[in-house]
Amino acid sequence: MSGQNLQGMRSFRLLIAIVSVSLLSGCTSSPIPEGYKGPTARIEDSFKKRGWSSADFFYVSKIDGRRINDSLAATTQSNYGQGFQLTPIAIGRAVAAQESTFTIVGRTHYAAPILELAGTVYQVSGDVKFSPQPDQIYYVRGELDEKYSGVWIEDAAGTPVTPKIEVNGSSALSIFEK
């Protein structure tokens, strides 16, 4: 491969990574509503490694319609320039201990955009109403595969505290949805 072609490929990969990170991080806001002074709880995202280059992420993407930072965006930023090896990051956040609508997502993610385009990406998402209890810790959990995909929030004991957002059958995205 010529030096010019190699440089062009690197520039293209850089452009794809920048666009991906900016789309994933977008405009985020605080998970705590402005002016809220009440008690808080904590919700942690999670992941399951699929292999050295991919993982399934289960995370909160919005609270009451406000986009917040999530583990998928944090992982994308942290892994930029690391090639085809993915080191997943799970983040958490304090949330108001009051009823809110949480947009929860389960999604397969790959280390590099080309791997994501060539690989199978499963995704399931939806809104759940939930009232976190003060000083409690909750986890976003899920499963992603060809026959069943689901995502939910559970307490520290592993008991689901929200309905499961489920897809019976394949939740694989088409090439145009990735």
Considering Cα of 102, then 108, then 111, then 116, what sign does the dihedral take? negative
Would you say residue 98 lies in a domain? yes
Spell out the SS3 assignment of 134-167: CCCEEEEEEEECCCEEEEEEEECCCCECCCCEEE
Q: Is 159 in contact with 141 (CB distance < 8 Å)?
A: no
Would you say residue 178 lies in a domain? no
Length of the chain: 178
Strand partners, 110: 54
Would you say residue 120 lies in a domain? yes
Mean pLDDT in the chain? 89
Q: How would residue 73 be classed by pLDDT, with cut points 50, 70 and 90?
A: very high
Q: So what's the pLDDT on residue 4?
A: 53
Would you say residue 86 lies in a domain? yes
Residue 3 has pLDDT above 60, yes or no: no
Provide the 10 A C-beta neighbour count for residue 72.
Answer: 23
Q: So what's the pLDDT on residue 28?
A: 72
Q: So what's the pLDDT on residue 23?
A: 47
Secondary structure element (H or E) that encloses residue 75, with its range: helix 71-79
Domain total of the chain: 1
Residues 10-17 have a mean pLDDT of: 48
Predicted TM-score (pTM) of the model is 0.84
List, for residues 137-178, the tens digit of each pLDDT value. 999 999 999 999 999 999 999 999 999 999 999 999 999 999
Would you say residue 133 lies in a domain? yes
Provide the 10 A C-beta neighbour count for residue 44.
Answer: 19
The DSSP letter of residue 77 is H
Would you say residue 176 lies in a domain? no
d(CA 125, CA 164): 10
Angle (CA) 163-71-123 rounded to 5° is 50
Would you say residue 175 lies in a domain? no
Question: DSSP 3-state assignment of 8?
Answer: helix
Q: So what's the pLDDT on residue 119?
A: 96
List, for residues 44-62, the tens digit of each pLDDT value. 999 999 999 999 999 999 9
Contacts of 12 (CB under 8 A, 6+ apart): none
Domain that holds residue 99: 3-168
Would you say residue 173 lies in a domain? no
